[in-house]
Amino acid sequence: MDTERDATAPGAPEVPPATPDQLKRLDAARSLLLHVHRALLEVERARYEKVRGRIENNSAFLQLVISDPWFDWLRPMAQLVLLIDERTSDKKSILGSSEANALLDRSRALLRADAEGDAFQRLYYQAIQSSPDLAVIARQVAGGLGK
């Protein structure tokens, strides 16, 4: 059980809240994650269309992103952005300092392109190798997420 989320329970130990600097860094991480996510969607759309044919419109594309297994590997990024949104806006359970650090660490770990890493890292690596534009974005984002 996450003790930081239960810090408002009676008798729970006092947990130091996230600092303004941590919140600023989380907001920046969220923006960077969204930037990469958009770029990855463009790369994957082009790859999908090359294999399966043109996608009729943006609405059809959104449906594919939501339901087609081709795009499943992108979900961890979207889920992390949602988690950052949820935790930074939760007024009942204040984001703790150590949880903020953990979210920042998760952001850095997720965006580590690695040919030998987990499924996301391997596919992210492949996407970067196939798209010079994405490679530039990935390099900028990696610098922006530095410790």
Q: Could you read off the pLDDT of 1-19 as tens digits, one per residue?
A: 444 444 455 555 678 999 9
Six token digits for residue 72: 């499943």
Nearest in space to 39 (alpha carbons), one of 135, 103, 107: 135
Q: What average pLDDT does the segment 46-69 reach?
A: 97
What pLDDT score was predicted for residue 12? 56
- List phi, psi (to 5°) of 96: -85, 160
Q: What average pLDDT does the segment 95-99 reach?
A: 97
In the block, residue with structure tokens 């043109």:
54
Per-domain residue ranges of the chain = 20-144
